[in-house]
Structure 1
Amino acid sequence: MAEAPILMFDSGVGGLTVLREARVLIPDRRFVYVADDAGFPYGAWEEPALRAHILELFAGLLDRFRPEISVIACNTASTLVISDLRQRFPGHPFVGMVPAIKPAAERTRSGLVSVLATPGTVKRQYTRDLIHQWATKCHVRLVGSQNLALLAETYMRDGFVDEEAVRAEIAPCFVEQNGQRTDIVVLACTHYPFLANRMRKTAPWPVDWLDPAEAIARRALSLLRHETGLAKSHNDGQLDLAVFTSGRPDESIRRLMQGFGLIVQA
């Protein structure tokens, strides 16, 4: 009998950054990558409507794919709906993504940390609670980017991006205060690591760009059953799938998915 897959969910292609790390750590498992492109971008939604939308989606996804665990590879969705998902589907393990504020606070030398996120993640009380819990000794600037996720999607589709647009989006992250400078920027959206090279190029000074993808992959690994061990072939030859909620991914997205070794399912 085929082993249950790992379901990885995002609003678009950003969760591929987490999938990339998860495959390194969990090479023996099959993945189903779900992109809610019908709902993208999540920043355009009112919170109650988005919460209901994601809960309804998961009712169908869990029934259809019967995954062993589900990874919500999206900070906006995780901070909004992870508790509701666990309550609605008790017994099914969910791995969420939250801004990496704790490790940033532990690593910073200047005490100046910025959290680069979507406007929804920035305004959510969940994020502010993380700062209160872990980073009270730091100056944490929350930067809500309206356009960076869209720029990342464009870059992944087309292979190029307007560097000046990237520069404008990240500029508020860089703070100079009392002779100190921001030294860590938390990438609190899974789309953003795809633009890391452009961010480094357009940044006014070097910083540590903190990408939580590997930590999320390790958390997923810790929740899996391991009766079969890593010597098992990749899920008996079954292919990793990409599922788009619109049902109509364009040709550039299909090529991108194929480049990640995913078969787009109709």
Structure 2
Amino acid sequence: MSWAPGNGGSRVTGAKAPLAVVSGATSGIGAATARALATSFRVIGTTRDPATVTDPIPGVDYVALDLGDPVSIRRCAEEILCRGVPEVVINNAGESQSGPFEELPRDAIERLFQVNVIGHVDLTQRLLPAMRQAGRGRIVMVGSMLGSFPLAYRSSYVASKAAIKGFALAARRELKPFNIGVSVVEPGAIATGLSARRTKYVDKRGPYAREFDRMLTKLDANERNGISAERVAREIVKPVQAKWPKPHYACGSLAGVAFPLSRLVPLQVMLDVIARKHDL
């Protein structure tokens, strides 16, 4: 029996296996998720340049995708649909960005939103007609707990993750009649080496430099001690396998405490807790 939402992802191999798409599938959360899904799906993993993949995951085919380039997004969607109708779409790839609100360059903010938000929306929109006609599917937007608990000096990143969450939860009701579930997964601090690739914008002689550096040092330490990409992948698989996926999933950074607490205390209390956790 082929996979269908709710059957737990029965293993199926070959051409009859359902199709899953995972963006950013060559490292971190994306690679861990592609590996987890490859036991039950034909997986298309996206990467900027498939020719540079040196350690491919068995069962994963790589397709070029640059989320910053609308032409690349269109071509990627066309390539995916040539191979079949996706039953699972995991929107994971993205950029991490830090900097004082006052000093963030406009072009950096625009690039971040294109990569973290608009690119994912564009790709998903191009895949949805076929998924809707097939009458089933799962879409997972990989956000961040910072989308729910904003942190100083991460305003652009926070806003991008809040935006992708908003798109997903609004679209959830629209797609429900077509048996397409939409969920958001918000991980906390993750030990994936992301801190080394984070883009930073700050005037080293400006008024925010000292506090920014202090926050960044603590943020990097929290991420080094964070949960594994494999732990996040297990959370991502939950709405894929669920018969009735929840709108929101979270893991890491005491998510099981933070979200219930946020419903009991004033918002400023939560903002202060997040700030103190990052040495602010």
TM-score by length of 2: 0.39
Task: Indicate the structure whose relative CO is greater, using CA pairs within 8 Å and at least 6 residues apart.
Answer: 1
